[in-house]
C-alpha cells in the first residue's frame, strides 16, 4: 500500500485589485463633465432659465428646478473657503498622499467645489486665499481638478 499522492499545490489566485475609493462612477449624464476634466476644462452647470450656476453639474437646476441646463467652462479662479489637512488615512491611494489638503473652493462663478489644494505650504493656507485650477491625471481615463495658490 502506498501513501496517497499529495494533491499539487493550488496556484494562488491573483490578489483582487484594490478598490479605488477615489474614483467616480462615470455615467452617461456625467460623462461630459469628466471628459472636460480630461481635456483640462472644469465645467460647471448653468441654468438657461434663471441664469444661475450650480455645482456639481446635474440634469436640472437646483435653484429653479428647470431642466434647461448646460455645461459652461469655469475660469478656474477662486478663493479658498475652508480646508482640512489630512494626516491619517489608511486607504489607498490616500495614504500615499499624506499629508494632503481637502478643501472647499469658491469659484468666481459663484459655486463651491470640493477639491484638494496642492503646491502650498500648509502654514500658508488662509481663508480667502486666491487659488487657480490645474488638472491632475488620476488614471488614463480620469483627471481631476485641484487648486494651487494663484
Ligand atoms: Zn435655474
User: How far is the C-alpha of 79 from the C-alpha of 3, rounded, in Å?
Assistant: 76
In this structure, is residue 117 part of a structural domain? Answer: yes
pTM: 0.84
**What burial class does residue 38 get, using C-beta atoms within 10 Å of its C-beta: 0-12 exposed, 13-18 middle, 19+ buried?**
middle
In this structure, is residue 10 part of a structural domain? Answer: no
Whole-number Å distance, alpha carbon 114 to ligand 1 midpoint, is 22
pLDDT at position 76 is 97
In this structure, is residue 78 part of a structural domain? Answer: yes
Instruction: Report whether 114 contacts 102 (CB < 8 A).
Output: yes
Whole-number Å distance, alpha carbon 145 to ligand 1 midpoint, is 25
Whole-number Å distance, alpha carbon 57 to ligand 1 midpoint, is 12
Tell me the chain's radius of gyration from C-alpha atoms: 22
List the domain range (segments joined by +) for residue 68. Answer: 31-149
Q: What angle do CA 36, 114, 31 make, to 5 degrees?
A: 25
In this structure, is residue 59 part of a structural domain? Answer: yes
Instruction: Report whether 130 contacts 123 (CB < 8 A).
Output: no
Whole-number Å distance, alpha carbon 68 to ligand 1 midpoint, is 8
Note residues around ion ligand 1 (Cβ under 5 angstroms).
Answer: 47, 49-50, 61, 63-64, 66
List the grid coordinates of 61. Answer: 437646476
Domain count, the chain: 1
Band of residue 92 on the pLDDT scale cut at 50, 70, 90: confident
- Residue-wise pLDDT for 35-89, tens only, equals 999 999 999 999 999 999 999 999 999 999 999 999 999 999 999 999 999 999 9
Residues 6+ away with beta carbon under 8 Å from 96: none
- Residue-wise pLDDT for 7-19, tens only, equals 666 677 766 666 6
Amino acid at each position: 500500500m502506498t501513501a496517497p499522492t499529495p494533491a499539487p499545490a493550488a496556484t494562488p489566485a491573483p490578489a483582487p485589485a484594490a478598490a479605488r475609493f477615489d474614483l467616480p462612477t462615470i455615467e452617461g449624464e456625467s460623462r461630459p463633465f469628466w471628459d472636460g476634466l480630461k481635456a483640462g476644462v472644469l465645467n460647471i452647470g448653468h441654468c438657461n432659465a434663471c441664469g444661475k450656476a450650480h455645482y456639481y453639474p446635474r440634469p436640472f437646476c437646483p435653484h429653479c428646478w428647470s431642466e434647461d441646463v448646460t455645461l459652461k467652462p469655469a475660469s478656474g479662479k477662486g478663493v479658498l473657503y475652508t480646508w482640512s489637512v489630512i494626516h491619517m488615512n489608511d486607504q489607498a491611494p490616500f495614504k500615499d498622499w499624506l499629508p494632503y489638503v481637502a478643501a472647499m473652493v469658491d469659484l468666481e462663478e459663484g459655486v463651491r467645489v470640493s477639491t484638494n489644494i496642492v503646491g502650498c505650504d500648509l502654514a500658508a493656507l488662509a481663508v480667502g486665499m486666491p487659488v487657480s485650477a490645474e488638472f491632475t491625471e488620476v488614471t488614463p481615463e480620469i483627471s481631476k481638478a485641484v487648486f494651487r495658490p494663484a
